[in-house]
Structure formats: C-alpha cells, structure tokens
Amino acid sequence: MFNALVVDKEEQGNTSAEVRQIGLDDLPDGDVTVAVEYSTVNYKDGLCIGPGGGLVRNYPHVPGIDFAGTVEASDDDRYKPGDKVVLTGWRVGEAHWGGYSQKACVKADWLVPLPKGLDTRQAMAVGTAGFTAMLAVMALEDHGIKDGPVLVTGAAGGVGSVATAILASLGHEVAGVTGRPETADYLTSLGASQIVAREEINETTKRPLEAETWGGCVDAVGGAMLARVLGQVKYGGSVAAVGLAGGAGLPATVIPFLLRGVNLLGIDSVMQPYDNRLRAWERIAKDLPMDKLEAMVQPATLSDLPKLGADILKGQVKGRVVVDVNA
Ligand code: NDP
C-alpha cells in the first residue's frame, strides 16, 4: 500500500480531497509503473482538486498533471526498471490518475526519459508550467523575436516565472507584468529588467494600435490583457498565448493582424508529440539557469495540496510548487 491524494465526489456536487492508502490494483491500466518522486501544482491541478470544472471525468480521482520518478516495472521495451522519467500532459491527472501518488501507472508513450543535466526534483520545479514556458519561447523564436523588451504576463506565476528566467538567460530584455508589486525583487532576481503594473496593461483602450513596444510576448493571462498587448507588439512580432488566468474572452480587433502583421501563436502542452517534448526538455536543461529555478521553488507535501490547489486558482501562488510525494 502507498499514499495518494484521492479526490471524491460528495453530495450536491462538492468534492473532498484527502491523503489515503491505495494499492497497485487500484491504479488504472498502463504499460509502465513509476515510483513517483515529485509532482507539482499547476492551475489545472487547482481545478481538479476542487469541483473539477469538467476536467475530471470519473471519481474517485488522483490529480497531478505531471510527475517525475523512477520506473518500477515496464511492459514496454523503451523503459526498464531504474530509468528516470518525466511526464507532462496527455490528460494525466484529469482523465487518468496522476502524480499525487507514490506510484503511477501510465502509457509508455506519455513519458520521456529524464533529460541529462536535470534531476527529478529539478524536472518538477520546471513541471508543466515551465515546460509550457519553453514551448512558448521556442514558438516565439520560430517566428522571430523582434528587438526590444519581451513582455511576460502573469510574470510571478509558474509559466511567467520560468519564461522570464529562460528569456533573460537567452539575452533578451524582459518586462514582467504583475498584479503583485511585492514580487518585483523576485522577478528582478529571475532576470526581468522592467516591472509593469497589471493595471497598466489591463486598462481598456479604444485604440486598436498603440506605440510599437514589445519585441514579443509570452501571455499566461489572456482576456483583456492579451487583447491590449496585441496592439503594442512591434511590426511582425508574435504573442505566444499560453493561458487564461485573467479570462477566456478576447475583446480584440483584427487590426493588429492586418496592419502590423502580428502573429498570435497558440501553445498547447498537452498533446505534444514525443520528439517535441524531448526537444523542449533538452532546451530547458541547457537554457534555464538552475540557481534561478531554485529561487522559484516552494516545497510541499501531499497533505498541503487541498490548500495550494485553492491558492493557485486565486492567483496567489508565486513561482513553482514542488510536491515531494514521499515526504
Ligand atoms: P499561476 O497561477 O501560477 O500564474 C498565473 C498568474 O497570472 C498569476 O500568478 C498572476 O500573476 C496572473 N493572474 C492571475 N489572475 C489574474 C487576473 N485575473 N488578471 C491578470 N493576471 C492574473 O498559473 P500558471 O502559470 O501555472 O498557468 C497560467 C495559465 O496558463 C493558466 O491559465 C493555465 O491553465 C495555463 N496553462 C496552459 C498550458 C498550456 O498547455 N497551454 C500549460 C500550463 C498552464 P501576477 O501575480 O504576477 O500578476
């Protein structure tokens, strides 16, 4: 038997979340059993720990959309006991039991080998949020980052923190948008050279185009902020849209696309093919300074998760929460 955070449905649509002992026979089918070492807290985990928002299909459920650990048993030739592996995406932690458990059973296709240069804790300090930040940076690079500061919205959150550190280490000037002025020193330590107050970009304007300011943008917020940024990106520049922490609507016009050739690049970390996942993890190991990664980490245990899940939905988590499932 081993520990897992089990979420169950209660009367009137409420959910309960508690650490329980479960067994290997309880785990869903898969080709690889992993002794999980670390998982993390992402925005989606907050949703899955709570009432689910349609993400969780069947209860009881073990959330945790990512994990890193050691292969314990494998029916697939690509993995053998003792191999270190990382998992992000593929609806694990939503439609399939995830990483908030000391053991997980998953399809071999969903795993990647732990990249050289990262241990399992570092891999989860990066986690889904950081992996997505790297995908966003790679998408901006593919379309060409223009001169001038690169804007990162939701900068003090998980995606924003890792995007800030990667862009700065690649030599870009980074402007971080935050609604929490007290995180300014933290963002500066990650490499941001400019802090922009959330209200400055959230204010609505009737002007579809403003001064060409940003060489590109990683946007974790969406909504009114994304709409405003589209009119501020330099000619031919790109915005990598990652998230919707500030809303799913997009009150924008087509003018930035027509008159400035702005590219809006959608980033999806969930269904990334194996080669893309491997490439992104290798870039993370190469381009993300580990001392900066360490500065983002807040440690947690399985029993901390119900509170942390609620906190991340309120935008109150700074950086990355790393869950030691064996603590
Ligand atoms: P976090 O909660 O860690 O960060 C989000 C940040 O957005 C907050 O820290 C806050 O930053 C800012 N924010 C929150 N609410 C608002 C608001 N109402 N208006 C403006 N800014 C706000 O989440 P993550 O970084 O893990 O994820 C960010 C988004 O990206 C989420 O929507 C998530 O679902 C999505 N995501 C998408 C992925 C994909 O594959 N496309 C993968 C991973 C995440 P600050 O305090 O600095 O203002």
Architecture per CATH, domain 128-266, reads as 3-Layer(aba) Sandwich (3.40)
Determine the distance separating the centroid of ligand 1 and the alpha carbon of 274, expressed in angstroms.
25
For residue 269 and ligand 1, the question of a CB distance below 6 A is answered with: yes
Specify the ligand 1 atom closest to the Cα of 161: 25
For residue 21, the tally of other CB atoms under 10 A from its CB is: 11
CATH 3.40.50.720 domain range(s) in the chain: 128-266
Tokens of 181: 């002025």
Q: Is 154 in the pocket of ligand 1 (CB under 6 A)?
A: yes
Give yes or no for residue 44 CB within 6 A of ligand 1: yes
**What's the CA-to-centroid distance between 179 and ligand 1, angstroms?**
11
In short, whether 93's Cβ falls inside 6 Å of ligand 1 is no
Give buried/exposed letters for 260-271 (b at 16+ CB in 10 A, else e). bebbbbebebee
Backbone angles phi, psi at 264, to 5 degrees: -105, 110
Q: Distance between CA atoms of 55 and 94, rounded to whole angstroms?
A: 6
> Residue 152's pLDDT is what?
98
In this structure, are strands 66-74 and 32-40 parallel, antiparallel, or unpaired? antiparallel
Does the beta carbon of 40 sit less than 6 angstroms from any atom of ligand 1? no
Range of lowest pLDDT (49-53, 56-60, 216-220): 49-53
Indicate if the pLDDT at residue 13 is higher than 80: no
Place of tokens 């809303």: 247
pLDDT value for 205: 81
The 10s digit of each residue's pLDDT in 224-237 is 999 999 999 999 99
Residue 234 carries which DSSP code?
Answer: P
Report the mean per-residue pLDDT for the chain: 96
Which residue's CA is the nearest one to ligand 1's atom 4?
157
pLDDT (0 to 100) of residue 57:
86
Residue 244 CA to ligand 1 center (angstroms) comes to 7
Q: Which atom of ligand 1 is nearest to the CA of 155?
A: 47
**Distance from C-alpha of 195 to C-alpha of 198, rounded to nearest angstrom:** 9
Percent over 90 (pLDDT), the chain: 94
Site to probe by mutation for ligand 1, drawn from 152, 199, 242 as the one with most ligand atoms within 8 Å of Cβ, is 242
How far is it, in rounded angstroms, from Cα 55 to Cα 58? 9
| DSSP 8-state code for residue 216 | E
Q: Give the end-to-end CA distance of the chain in Å, rounded to a whole number.
A: 16
Question: DSSP states of 276-324 as a string?
Answer: HHHHHHHHHHHHS-HHHHHHHEEEE-GGGHHHHHHHHHTT---SEEEEE
Tally of CB atoms within 10 A around 289: 14
Domain span(s) for CATH 3.90.180.10 in the chain: 2-114+296-324
CATH fold group of domain 2-114+296-324: Quinone Oxidoreductase; Chain A, domain 1 (3.90.180)
**Nearest protein CA to atom 11 of ligand 1, as residue:** 154
Average pLDDT over residues 67-92: 98
Model confidence over 142-180: pLDDT tens digits? 999 999 999 999 999 999 999 999 999 999 999 999 999
pLDDT in tens, 110-150: 999 999 999 999 999 999 999 999 999 999 999 999 999 99
How far is C-alpha 118 from the geometric centre of its chain's CA atoms?
Answer: 17
pLDDT for 203: 79
Q: If DSSP codes are grouped into helix, strand and coil, which group holds residue 19?
A: strand
What pLDDT does residue 234 have?
98
- Output the CA 42–ligand 1 centroid distance in Å: 9
> Is residue 272 predicted with pLDDT exceeding 80?
yes
